[in-house]
Amino acid sequence: MLIDWCDTLHFELRTDGRISRTDLNSPAKNNSEALPAEDLAVRAARALQVASGTSLGVHISLEKNIPSQAGMGGGSSDAASCLLALQRLWGVRLPPQTLRAIALSLGADVPFFLSGGHAWVEGIGEKITPLALPAARFLVVKPAKGVSTPDIFNAPDLKRDTKTATMLGFAAYADDQGLNFGHNDLQPVAQKLCTPINQSLDWLQSQKLEGRMTGSGSAVFAQIFNDADIAAAPGDWIIRKCKNLEMHPLAAW
């Protein structure tokens, strides 16, 4: 599901073929050309550059709004946005299947964000079925502490034999009871690794909200139908009321 809590990326054309990136929220990094190898936005730009054969480059300025280690797909969304925006900036247009292959090589969540809308995702991110979802509002809570995705997936007590959920099951549930479908097998492990997740879930419950973890990070969320009082929440939490989007802002490109 796409929601309106997102990063902002700015792209400046470079004619020297180089790819650089700065973080607008971190002034100390602004003059650094030494980018981490795992930076998804840069990896996406380089992959598109190679696949398209362009001699052009880009400078990417990132305004990071999605917290790190939140499990909200911030890096994956940034990578997909790079693939969509740079095609236009560089005047290239790859076949959809080629672009999807690049997206999948960057990470399992990137193809979803590349698809442009809400979707049911299966496999390792390669099976995507578009979904039409009703407008909805959510309360998203990110405690100060994050949790490492590799640590969760490497945990010996991670449940790996859950029966596969189906899109038909989701559709039947959503029609009757809203969007609070299924469960997150990563959540019990993450709660052991990051106890503030438990506190966030307890707080949502105190607000009479049914919370769960967003993905593989420490953020939790709940669908809200009335206004929620967030004034009493701990001061070091990041809390935002969000709504779902109809489509990715760059989907029409």
- The pTM assigned to this predicted structure is 0.86
Are the C-beta atoms of 240 and 138 separated by less than 8 Å? no
Same domain, yes or no: 113 and 172: no
Share of the chain above pLDDT 70, in %: 89
Residue 21's SS3 state is strand
Q: Which of 11, 141, 5, 20 is nearest to 89 (CA)?
A: 11
Same domain, yes or no: 28 and 113: yes
Most confident residue range from 29-38, 153-162, 175-184: 153-162
What domain range includes position 217?
137-243
Same domain, yes or no: 68 and 166: no
pLDDT reading at 199 higher than 90: yes
Q: How confident is the model at residue 27 (pLDDT cuts 50, 70, 90)?
A: low
Same domain, yes or no: 113 and 212: no
Specify the pLDDT at position 175. 53
Domain boundary among 122, 154, 187: 122
Q: How confident is the model at residue 252 (pLDDT cuts 50, 70, 90)?
A: low
Instruction: Provide the number of structural domains found in the chain.
Output: 2
Domain boundary among 122, 156, 179: 122
> How many of the other CB atoms lie within 10 Å of CB of 16?
8
pLDDT digits (tens, 9 = 90+) for 135-178: 899 999 999 999 998 999 999 999 887 877 777 776 666 555 55
Min mean pLDDT across 30-39, 102-111, 122-131, 217-226 is at 30-39
Please give the Cα distance from 153 to 18 (Å, whole number). Answer: 35
Does some domain include residue 131? no
Which residues does residue 220 pair with via DSSP β-bridges, in sequence order? 141, 213
CATH of residue 173's domain is 3.30.70.890
**Kind and range of the H or E element at 48?**
helix 40-52
Same domain, yes or no: 52 and 146: no
